[in-house]
Amino acid sequence: MVIAMQLRYGFRLYPNGPQRSALARAFGCARVVFNDALRVREDARAAGLPSVTSGELSKRLTASKKTPQRAWLGEVSSVILQQCLRDLDTAYRNFFDSLKGKRPKMGPPRFKSKRDTRQAIRFTANAGWKITPGGKLRLPKVGDVPVKWSRTLPSTPTTVTVIKDSAGRYFASFVIETGPEEALTPVTPEVGTDLGLGHFAVLSDGRKIDSWRFLRRAEKQLKKAQRALSRKEKGSANRNKARIKVARAHARVADARREFHHQLSTKLIRENQAIAVEDLAVKGLARTRLAKSVHDAGWSQFVTMPEYKATRYGRTFVRIGRFEPTSQVCSACGVKDGPKPLHVREWTCAQCGAVLDRDINAAVNVAKAAGLAVSARGAQVRPEPLPAQRDEAGTHPEPRPTTARQTGIALL
C-alpha cells in the first residue's frame, strides 16, 4: 500500500527592482520581530520569571507597531511577523527536545543578523497570497512575482515560504500533502548498494556508478573566485559582488550534485523492488583526512532520496547497520576472513577459492542482509510517513489546482 506524505516543491522567483526592495523590507522586519521576541524571553529567563507566551508576544508586537519607533513594521504583511513568533516557539521546542534526548543535540535559538546571506519569510493562507491565472505568485505588499514553473502541484498549498539564498537567488517553497500515488510496476530483484569514494556506488549486480567529484572538478574556478574575494576591501560594494560570485559557484556545485543524486535514486527505485544501503558513519569519516571527498560525495543527502521515494511508490527500502562486516565476509560461501587494508581491492577466498571484488562483494552482502531483514519483518518493510525536509506548515489534501509546477525536490 502506498501512503500519503508531505513533499517540498521549490520554484525559482524573478522579482523586479521594487519587488526585491519590498522583499528586503519584509526580511528585515521579520528579523527584527524575531530578535525582539527572543530578547524578551531571554530577559525573562535571566530574571527568573515565567516564560513569556506566544499570545503575550503577539500583543506586544501589535502594540509596538503603534509606536513611532516600530511604526515601519506596518509596511509589511502582519502574517509574516506572526510566523516569526511561531518559528521562535519551534526553535525553543526543538532545543528542549534535544535536551530530553528526543532529537539530535542542538543549541538554543540565536539572534539573527542583518548580514546573514540567507533570508526567509512565510505567508500562510490568511495572508491572501495566491497564484494568478497568468502563473505569477501574488504576495501581499510585494506584488505579482514571476515564477519559473516546471511541474504541476499535486494539491492546493496553504503556505508559501519565500527564500533568498546566499547567491542572491529567490525561491518559492511549498509543502504539499500528496495523496496516494500509483504504485510502480512490481519487479522482483532487490539490489544492494555499497557507497564509496572511488566509485560513488557499486551495485550488487556488478554495476559501478562513477563518482563525479563535483567539488573537485570546480576547485579551479572556486579558487579563482575566492582569491578575488579576498582582495576586496571589507564592507565595499565590490566585495559584495565578489561574495555573490563565490556563492553562485558553490550553488552550481550543490545543484549538480543534487541532480545527480535524484537521477540515480530514481533509477534505482524504478528498476528494483527493494533497495538496501549501508548506514555509514558520515560524521566520523568527515573528521578524517578524507573529509573533503566525503562531503563532496554527499552520501547523507543521497540516502534520504530513495528512502522517501520508496515510501511514496510502494518499494522497499532497508538500511543495513554500519557494523555489518560486509567487506569481511565472502559473498559466495559466507566465511568471514577478517578485515583487509583499503589498498586490497580484490582477493581470493581461502575457503571456496572465489575471486572477489571488494566493492561488489560488499554490495552483494548488503543485498543479502536486506533479504534477511525482509524475511524477518515480512513483506511490508517501509518506514513511517516521512515529513518534509524542513519544518513548515503542511496542506490539506484537495483536488489538483492550477498550473503551478515543481522544480526538483521530488523528481520521481
Residue 346: helix, strand or coil by DSSP?
Answer: strand
User: Is 391 one of the catalytic residues?
Assistant: no
Residue 15: Cβ-neighbour burial (10 angstroms; 0-12, 13-18, 19+): buried
User: Is 144 one of the catalytic residues?
Assistant: no
**How far is residue 182's CA from residue 5's CA, in Å, rounded to a whole number?**
13
Show the 3-state SS of 172-234. Answer: EEEEEEECCCCCCCCCCCEEEEEECCCEEEEECCCCEEECCCHHHHCHHHHHHHHHHHHCCCC
Which of 36, 87, 190, 194 is catalytic? The answer is: 194
Cell numbers at 295, concatenated: 562531503
Q: Which of 121, 122, 13 is nearest to 404 (CA)?
A: 13
Sheet holding 160-164, edge to edge: 119-123, 160-164, 170-178, 5-13, 147-148
- φ, ψ for residue 290 (rounded to 5)? -95, 15
Cα end-to-end distance, the chain, whole Å: 17
> What are the distances in angstroms from CA 241 to CA 167, 225, 234?
10, 11, 12
Which of 87, 177, 359, 392 is catalytic? The answer is: 359
**How far is residue 394's CA from residue 383's CA, in Å, rounded to a whole number?**
20
Which of 278, 296, 307, 392 is catalytic? The answer is: 278
**How far is residue 379's CA from residue 376's CA, in Å, rounded to a whole number?**
9
User: Is 278 one of the catalytic residues?
Assistant: yes
Active site residues: 194, 278, 359
